Structure formats: structure tokens, C-alpha cells
A and B are shown apart, each in its own frame.
Chain A
Amino acid sequence: MSVTLTINGKPTEVDADPQTPLLWVLRDHLGMTGTKFGCGIAQCGACTVHLDGEATRSCQVPLEVAVGSEITTIEGLSPDSSHPLQKAWIEMNVPQCGYCQAGMLMAASSLLAAIPEPTDEDIDQYVSNICRCGTYPRVRAAIHKAAAEMKA
């Protein structure tokens, strides 16, 4: 089935089975590999994208459901890595292996859009992604730092 998705502001044509998870449409059919496969059951959050601004685990979104939504992926978070979260991530040496970090950034950016000055509890609730390297303390600190920069 050929459909048109809106990804990072651009209409994008894709031909795939309507039940194919958005994750695999992005990665495999469209070659947008910034969005990662981790578990396939919406547990780990590595595949997090924004659907109409809301952090969503793309492994559980069939292609047909994504049609008509504004989809934002890590490739579209900012044109030049200038999102305050991306800057804080680099400055604070947040990622280790880095594999889960696109999902972390998408969860965190959705949080900051909803709650510009999140508390630790807000972060706990919004950013439930799994990181095996143990970057959690730095992810938290970098979200606070980005929030401060966005306020300034």
C-alpha cells in the first residue's frame, strides 16, 4: 500500500504493508536509521519519535495509524544539532554507547515542550527509556540544563 507520511515537515511517500510498524517503515523502507530498534514491545523506548508532538514508541504504531500525523524523528529534532538538549548532551558527555540516546532525546524534548521546567519526578515519569550503560544521572542533569537554557 502506498501512502504519504509527514516526516520532519516533509511529505514522504512509502510503499509497505499497512500493518508494518512505523519503526521499520522509517528504518528499513525510508533508510532513516536514527530511530532505533531495541525491544519491539514498547518497553525500552529506543524507537521513540514524536507523533503530533507527543513522544510515542514507534514499534507499536502500525503504518496506517501514522498517516495524517506530524512525525518527528531524531533527524528532525533540529536542523543542525542546535536543540538545547543536543547541546547539553555533547557538553555534559551524556551518551556512552549512544544507542538508546535518540529515544532519550525524543522523550526529553517532548517533556520540555509540555513542561518547560520539569522536576525530577516529571523526568522520572516522562523519560522511562532503558539505558544499559547507566547514563540516567547525566540524562537527568542535561535535561535540567537544557531547560535552564531554554528559559534564559
Chain B
Amino acid sequence: MNKSFNLNRRKFLISSFAAGGAMVIGTHAMAATIEGLPAGVPTPAGATEFTPWLTIGADDIVTVRATAVDIGNGTLTQIASYIMEELNPAWDNIKVEYANTNRDYKEGNVYSTPGGALGYFSGRSTGPARMDTYLQVAASARARLIGAAAEAWGVPAAEIAIKDGVLSHASGKSAKFSEMVEAASKVSFAEEPKPKDRSEWTWLQKKAPAKIQIPHIVNGSAIYGVDVKVPDMVYAAMMQSPVMGGKLKSYDAEKVKDMPGVLAVVTVEPGENVPTDLKPPFPFGVNPAQHAVAVIAEHYWQARMALDALPIEWDDGPGAQWKSTQQMVDAALAAVEKPGEKVEVSNGDVEAVFKDAGKIVEANYHTPYCDQTPIEPLNGTALVTPDRVDFWHPSQHSQEAFYVAAHETGVAPENVYFHQTFVGGGFGRRVFSDDARMVVAVAKKYPGKPVHLIWSREEMTRQGRYRPMMAAKLKAALGDDGLPTALLGRMSGGPGFFAVGMPETALTAVTPNAQIESQTVPFHILTGPYRGPGYNSNAFFVETFVDELAEAAGEDPLDYRLRLYGKFADKGWVKVLEEVKAKSGWGEALPKGQGRGVAVANWGMDGKTPSGTTVATVAKVDIAQDGTLKVLQLDVAFDTGRILNEDAVRVELEGGTIFGLNMSMMEGLNVEDGRIVEGNFDEYPMLRMEDMPKINIHFGGLSDDNRYFEIGEPPAGVVGPAVGNAIYAAIGKRVRSTPFRLHDLTWS
């Protein structure tokens, strides 16, 4: 049984009209994915489709379809690399386009599994099922081309080679793909040919091509969601209830209707959707609309001006009970003083050990709401008519956005066309598709015209689906050897917080008695995925706490971790620690006010070992006596098992590390009378070029275990605790909450 999705033999039957090109969708590069508006991409003639995943054109262009949206993580380049490995066309002749969600629906989920995780039109391209899929479709196409050439030339298939898009034989015969493609479409096999063994790879793991879309980025031609232009398009600016869950009380459209360019004022209410049989992709569910009012105008700036001038009154609702950030932090911290309502892990008898323990270490921690803050503001363009929807949007999950467009309008899914654009940053913000929902909800109030809705930065920051506020209590008893004999971990957060990063950690696994609990606090603030959900807070709690254990044991914190995690079944943990120990200058003397700290954590552990990606980071910081904190250097080692593109991995480690550094140093949203306070970068500051430490990425931690796990999220969790632990090493002050910029780090 092939575990790749929908790769049964049926899918390899070539369409009877394939040679006429009737079933082919486009052969253009990335920038062209939104060409042919609004009806979709034009159909070129004379191309042959091998499966819905792969088409070879009369022009020798090999078009491959991507389900994983590229949010800057290089999925498109990786997919092109799979095709290169198995099919070996000319690299420049590979075009990647997004798989069409409408086609997926109409043709029985040719790209997905309905409602299942394999239908994930998002995420990375190196997942095992995806990788197998692309290698298989390319191997199948290759074998058919060779089969066709073998018959045409009267030679054994085994004697035919493929290189740079040319089939050749020792006799001197050669042909381009395009010359064999029609005959190839008639070749059939009782069983699909197997892709190469890893030992025969010549491209994967060997080459590190830069992202294929960069030429479109550096000249400004890449079309992001916010850049979409459709004939007759109008613009919209929107305000949602400033207190989440609040309602629109009143507004006075008369006051703005005569302003330049204003066309309409419309409202959005939750529950104006139409029931549909279409199921949302697992596990994202239904994200309801929020109460909102929007101004529609000929130009965007006119819409913004009119919205600013529009008198609006809101009924704040129950969320207004949360008067201040401190009140919420106190509630989260109070929650971890009580036994959790949900027991995540219960091994042995923690309380019995605590009773007799010689040494107990206990501490409470908390982390704030943080916004993903992609630099492209939330936006989308929708044309809603009674019997058809076209929707252009920078989605992180095109299938969810497709679902939302059908669900919000009630238009039959076969008549819903979703057009994926470039995405100006994701980080989890564009997965749930609450933004997609609002675009369609506004557009359907102005039907028959394409409506381009763009959030202001302030609206976007205050209407997030945030990294949840979380608090934790950690308590451990230390044995005679200084290692924990019992561990109690309690987490709390608002509804929907992610427990990931404490129950399944190595610390929990290696401690003989462990009890991990969680508790939900009834906050109204909406939350969502943010680079490394749950893990990004829990890694800070756990790895700061482990540093406190090392301190209590009187041992160097890196050596303590080597001993502690040396007991864990996944040997990658020790390997990455040894790598950063050797490469970071660990242990070398530093001047007063400077210190090094270490942290190690794993994102993606699934209970088996080895699994996920383990990252160890050593931070070197400098703290001036006035408390000014400067991170000087970060040394990062990792274990994803194996890697496929060295530079793609390096770039994600750099980016994920900087993201986690920003999160820990800078980010934290405040709540006042139920509203999010911060709106723009003057209030929610970001690290810039001048704040960058030297970042060294080390490859010596790789275990060569048979997995190619993801790399974008893992580094985000460890950099914060590494810096926090370095602060302690430098000035002896333990920081148990983020962002660090709010702590008094003065010393004398």
C-alpha cells in the first residue's frame, strides 16, 4: 500500500484528451499563477498530463503542482527539486504552480484526502507523504518517456538515459521530452516504477538551489495578495469590534456617503454564512466572522479616510471585564496554583517523592500574547455573484480558504475558484482563514464587483489570532546526583492554547515521576497558531527551569543537560549539545556583564524516538550597567534527521532564530478594557538590522536518522531561554517572563 496520497494506479492513467491539452492547467511560472483573471489560468494546447500533479508541454516545460503554499520557506523549490531528481528535465524548464482547489473538489480530491491531514494544502514539502508523491509522479513520467523512446528506437529501455530534458541512446539517437510525450502518454505499466534509492541521488542533498521565485521578488513583479488587480475592482477598509466578541451597536453611513470615492458602507455579522456539506480541512475547523463595518470606495485611500470619519459605536460584550494585562497574567498564574483540569501525563507518584525530597526547585513563568505580524497586511479580493465566487488571497492554506469562500457565500463548491497569490509572510497567521472569511463576508455585501479588502496595520495587530498568553508552574525534586526524580508541570492559558512542548519533552520522559497538567482560563482574546504553537512558550518555561535545576545542582548548565538528556532515547539531543559546546566557545572566560546561556528543545516529537527536530542554541549576551541588553552571538545546532537542501535549511534556521529572538526580546501585547492596546510598529517594536547578533549555524548535530523533519519552527523555541539563561550567567538575574526588554537588567 502506497502511503502517498491518492497515488493508486488509477491516477496514472492518462486522460484520453490529454494530447489535446484539454485537462491541463497552465504552464507558467510562479508570477503567472494569477494570470488569466478572473476565470483562471489559460489552457495551453499540446501538453500532456501524466497525473494531476505533472504535465509536460510541447515546449518541453514540465509543470508540477504544489499543494504546500510557499510562505518563504522554499516549498516550491523543494518540489522542483524532487522532479529534477527523478525526471531530470532542464532545471529552467521546471515550472511550479499551485494545485487548484476547485479541481481537487470536482475530481474527487485528486490532491488531498477529504477532512484528513493528508489533504493539508499547507505546511512544508518535505513531509514523507508529499516527498513520496512527487518522487513517484516524476519516476512514473520518466519511465513512460523512456518506454516510448525504447519502442520508437527499437532498443532496450535499460539502455536509455535522461539528462537535462534529453533522452539518449549509445547509438546516437536522442529526443527531447516533447518528441516522446504523446507516445509516452500511451505507455502503461502493471506496476508503477520505483523511485531511485537515496544512494543514487544526484540532486537532492547534493545541490542547494536558491528559491525559484526570487527573480520575481527582486524586480517587484511578484504578485502578492495585496497586489491583485482585477477589472472593475473596488477597495474596502474595515473595522471589527475592538473588543473581540463585541457587537456593532450603531454607525452613521450618512456622514461619509458623500466623501470622495465612497460607494457603500456594509456590515458583517457572525452566522451570515450558508450551510454547506463541504467539510473544512482537518484540523482547522470553522472560524466564524466577527462583527465589523467596512467602507467600500473607488480607491483604497478613500476607503481608509471614510472609515476614519465614520461614526461607529460598539457594544463591547463580556470581554471588557478584562481591564488590564496584569489582571489576566494574575488569573493565568492563579490557575497554575490549582490542580489542572486536564492531566496530560501521569507517571509514578510525584507528590510522594516531593514529601521526602532533600532538594526542591520550584518556579512560575509566563509569556504574553504575541502577534505573528507578517509584513504583508491581511487582505484578499473576492468577486461574489449568485452562482460563482472568485477569490484571490495570500493564503497559508488554500483548501481552508476555498472552504471558507463556499461556506460564507453558499455558492456550490464546484463554482468556487480560489486563486493563490504570493504570501507576504505567514508564521501561522494565514492558516485559520479568519481573514479569508472577512474578505468574502464583506465582498458578498457588494456582489457583482471584485472587492479588495486590506486591513490597516493597526486593525491587523488588534484583531489577531495571537500566540496565547500562557503561564506555567514547574516543580522538581532533585536526587543525590542532582538530576530530577519528580517533576510537576502545570500550564494555563486562554481557550485554544496549545499544550505542545511540555508533556512530550525529554525532561518529562527522563524524570521517573512526572505529572503534567493543563488548565483553561476564560479569556476572550482569540488565539491561533504562531511559529511553533505551544512549544514557543513551553520551551522557554522548561529550558529556563532546567537551568534553575543545574544551578541548584551546582553544575555547569551545558554539562548538566548532557547528563540529563543523555538518559533520553533520542541521541540527537546530546549530539546537538556537544556540537554547540564545541563550536560556541562555551566555557571561555568573558568580561563582567557578559554571559553565555544554552537551551535545547524539540519541535514535532510525536512520542516516538527519534522524531521531530531538536535544536540547541548557545547565546552570548552583553549587559551594560544601565541594563541595556545586547545579544552578541548565537550558535545553533540542530537535528532534523537528514536534510535535502543545505542552504534552504540554513536560511530557515537563521530566520527561525531571529523570529524567536524577536518574540523573546520584544513582543508582548497589552489588554485594556478588553481591547488590544498596540497597533503599529511604534508600539509593537521589532528587531532591525542594527540589533542582529552574529548567527552561526552548525551542521554537526545531524543524526542521519531516516527523517527530513521541518526546520522553520524548531529554532524559534530555544533562542529565548538561551538568551534568558545567558542573562542569568551575566548578571545573576533570573528572567521568568518575556519580553526581556521589559525587565530591569541594571547591575553594579
Contact = CB atoms under 8 A, between A and B. Distances in A.
A63 to B, nearest CB: 10
Contacts, number: 178
Which 6 pairs between the two chains have the least Cβ-Cβ distance?
A34-B220, A134-B658, A99-B424, A97-B72, A96-B72, A98-B217
Given A96-B72, A97-B425, A97-B426, A28 B300 contact: yes
Interface in A76-114: 77-78, 81, 85-86, 89-102, 105
Interface of B: 71-73, 210-211, 213-215, 217-224, 226-227, 229, 235, 260, 299-302, 373-377, 422-427, 454, 456-457, 647-648, 651, 654-659, 662, 680-682, 686-690, 692, 695
A77 to B, nearest CB: 7
B214 A98 contact: yes
Contacts of B647: 93
Contacts of A33: 220, 223-224, 226-227, 229
A102 B220 contact: yes
Task: Give chain B's interface secondary structure class.
Answer: loop
A99 B375 contact: yes
A147 interface: no
A34 B692 contact: no
A105 B659 CA distance: 21
B374 A132 contact: yes
Given A29-B299, A37-B226, A37-B454, A97 B688 contact: no
B214 A89 contact: yes
Contact of A95 (B217, B227, B302, B423): B217
A37 to B, nearest CB: 6
Given A37-B226, A97-B425, A124 B689 contact: yes
Contacts of A31: 229
A95 B375 CA distance: 13
B214 A94 contact: yes
Given A31-B229, A34-B220, A90 B214 contact: yes
B628 to A, nearest CB: 16
B71 to A, nearest CB: 6
B376 A40 contact: no
Contacts of B456: 40
Contacts of B655: 96, 133-135
Contacts of B301: 17, 20-21, 24, 28
B376 A97 contact: yes
A16 interface: yes
A74 B73 CA distance: 23
A135 B427 CA distance: 15
Contact of A130 (B227, B235, B657, B681): B681
Nearest to A82: B219
B654 A138 contact: yes
Contact of A140 (B423, B681, B689): B689
A24 B299 CA distance: 9
Given A38-B376, A90-B218, A97-B374, 13 more contacts: A17-B260, A28-B301, A33-B220, A43-B681, A73-B220, A97-B423, A98-B213, A98-B222, A124-B688, A128-B690, A134-B655, A136-B692, A138-B654
